[in-house]
Copies of this chain bind each other. A is one copy, B any other.
Amino acid sequence: MASETVENYLKAIYALATVGGAEHGTGEASLGRLAAVLGVTAGTATTMVRKLAEGKLAKYERYGGVRLTAKGTAIALDVLRRHRLIETFLVQTLKFDWSEVHEEAERLEHAVSPKLLARLEEFLGRPKVDPHGDPIPTAKGSVAEPAGITLAEAAASSTAARKRSTYRILRVSDQNADFLKFIADRNLKPGTSGLKLSADPDAGLVNIHAPEGTDTPLSRDVASRIVVAAEG
């Protein structure tokens, strides 16, 4: 059994190695960034990563970054599965706001048994995505990375195509509570549709025009964390 700490390292490495989608990422995480997201010193991260490598959960060469083995990836995906099912439960059943479930799930994900998780999944109606639109890995360990493009990409696409389309929000991949509150305030949660987009490349901005007429300007950086699909 991987300790809670080991699970957190694997999850963090997985996340860093797959920024921008499982296929899009480099598959590798730098030790500095890993240390930063885990809130430990660089030395601690180095030591722990060496231990992961010894346990065949990761591949690691000195000064060369870390990448998960199949075994490490399997555990990371399982943690992610637990995390996302728990978040879904908190929002769907216990009526938590989507901005406050992350911390809670962060603790619970290490305390649920496979059996509990299976029952929970059943109880929730076998959801495919969590409240942020992030896909829930299956019990067998596969993730259905959903279609869709980032808001940044959509806004940057050819003007003609974009002007014809409206967009629907599929996913908001960020766990910062303030950011999520902001998104919810602007009614830009997953499921919102009928949005029109425009870009202001010089200012580095993307503009979202909601059907009711309200406009929300976002930086490209922020826009790249929101996934949308063209509709109609």
Contacts and interface: CB of A to CB of B under 8 A. Distances in A.
Interface of A: 90, 93-96, 103-104, 107-108, 110-113, 115-116, 119-120, 123
Contacts of A112: 107-108
Contact of A95 (B96, B108, B119): B119
A120 B94 contact: yes
Contacts of A115: 104
Nearest to A96: B119
Nearest to A113: B104
6 contacts: A96-B119, A104-B113, A104-B116, A107-B111, A107-B113, A111-B111
A119 B94 contact: yes
A95 B116 CA distance: 10
A115 to B, nearest CB: 8
Contacts of A96: 116, 119
A123 B111 contact: no
A42 B43 CA distance: 36
B108 A111 contact: yes
Contact of A93 (B103, B107, B123): B123
A104 B115 CA distance: 10
A103 B93 CA distance: 23
Contacts of A103: 113
Contact of A123 (B94, B108, B110): B94
A181 to B, nearest CB: 16
A193 to B, nearest CB: 30
A102 B116 CA distance: 12
B113 A111 contact: no
Given A111-B107, A111-B110, A116 B90 contact: yes
Contacts of A95: 119
A95 B113 CA distance: 15
Contacts of A110: 111
A216 to B, nearest CB: 30
A79 to B, nearest CB: 14
